[in-house]
Amino acid sequence: MSQESAGPGEWPVAVRVPVEPVEAAVEADARDAAVRSSTLAVRGPLFGVASPCGDGGRRWRVVVEVAHGCPQQARDALNSMLWFRARDEAKDRDERRALLKAVARLESECVDELSVLDTRYRVVRAEEYTGMDVHGDIEMPRPTDPEPPAPDWSRGARGPKIDDALVLDPDAPLSPVQAAERLALRSLVYSGARFPDSVLRDSARAVESHPDVLLMPAVFRVAERSGSENWTPGSGLHATPHDVRKALDFSLVWWRPRERGLIPWDVTEDIHLHADARTVVAEGTDPAVAELAVLAEAANRLRAERLDEVEALGTVYRIARTRRLLRWGPDGPEGPRPSDINNHAPSALHLPLDEDGNMCVEEPAEEAP
């Protein structure tokens, strides 16, 4: 059963009541989370790259995951994607020239939109936000969030990619809870004295230029809190809670011991490179074995019990469930705003390629006699 609701801005939203058991369970989880959540905390923008699907509709396809902290990081990812395509996939010189021309622009300009071989690429902007309860605790993974049936804890194992082959379809039917969230967030703007005037102006302008929003799949990261401090990010974004647990496991046994000075940073010696809290505790001779044992025990519990929260040495580590929304206008998803900040300038990321796809390695200059 479905119906349409226009809401503010007269952008219709198709609503479909879930009837399949899995869909119904996901909807029930979302409804329970909405009841527990007393507020939404907006962390800030994320950036990626998308292209129109070319089917005559309003759908776009994500080609660079919407998980980068500034627009230039998304441009750099597009730069690399086009460079490797020129090297490995171009069918002829003409195709390679077109790809390399786009790469050259991305190496020297802050390009937010360009067309290459009849494909239009746009740097897109999303808001990252999460639900918080009355105690200020951020939402953890839901029972129906994706989990592997047999968790692989090996460090070399790779989990699913964020936004892999994701199609953004603002006309796709939504469940009742999704539709309510989408309609409620259409009016989302930044507010408060901590934001510069330029950021506030751009945020208000975006509601007019891109009046609709599209909800993206949830992603996950580590959040940390010590004592009465606020939650702070403790990892990058991942596609599943298990991938975050793996990242936290590595942090607890390898990164934190070095950050605290319990294991040497010197990775030139193989023994130091592979040492972690578990191996040092097993040896039992290190003066820091007591502190390392606390970190190792927290990591072991994380593995054995598939926990979403552990505490070690005064810090609480939580698997946080993060949501994202894209603002959407007549021409598709919103791009970067003038007030968005880049943390570095465009630059060459790879060796030059010739028209045949060969890398051009510069010979070192000879020293004068």
Tens of pLDDT, residues 91-124: 999 999 999 999 999 999 999 999 999 999 999 9
Write down the pTM of the prediction.
0.91
Nearest-angstrom CA–CA distance, 216 and 10: 21
Question: What is the pLDDT at residue 11?
Answer: 76
Tens of pLDDT, residues 142-162: 999 999 888 899 888 888 999
Question: What is the pLDDT at residue 2?
Answer: 42
Tens of pLDDT, residues 44-78: 999 999 999 988 889 999 999 999 999 999 999 99
Residue 275 has pLDDT above 50, yes or no: yes
Tens of pLDDT, residues 276-326: 999 999 998 889 999 999 999 999 999 999 999 999 999 999 999 999 999
Sign of the torsion formed by the C-alpha atoms of 24, 26, 30 and 36: positive
Tens of pLDDT, residues 165-182: 999 999 999 999 999 999
Q: What would the 3-class secondary structure string for the chain be?
A: CEEEECCHHHCCEEEECCCCHHHHHHHHHHHHHHHHCCEEEEEEEEEEEEEECCCCCCCEEEEEEEEECCHHHHHHHHHHHHHHHHHHCCCCHHHHHHHHHHHHHHHHCCCCEEEECCEEEEEEEEEEEEEECCCCCECCCCCCCCCCCCCCCCCCCCCCCCCCCCEECCCCCECHHHHHHHHHHCCCCCCCCCCCHHHHHHHHHHHHHCCEEEEEEEEEEEEEEECCCCCEECCCCECCHHHHHHHHHHHHHHHHHHHCCCCCCCCCCHHHHHCCHHHHHHHCCCCCHHHHHHHHHHHHHHHHHCCCEEEECCEEEEEEEEEEEEEEECCEECCCCCCCCCCCCCCCCCCCECCCCCECCCCCCCCCC
Residue 8 has pLDDT above 50, yes or no: no
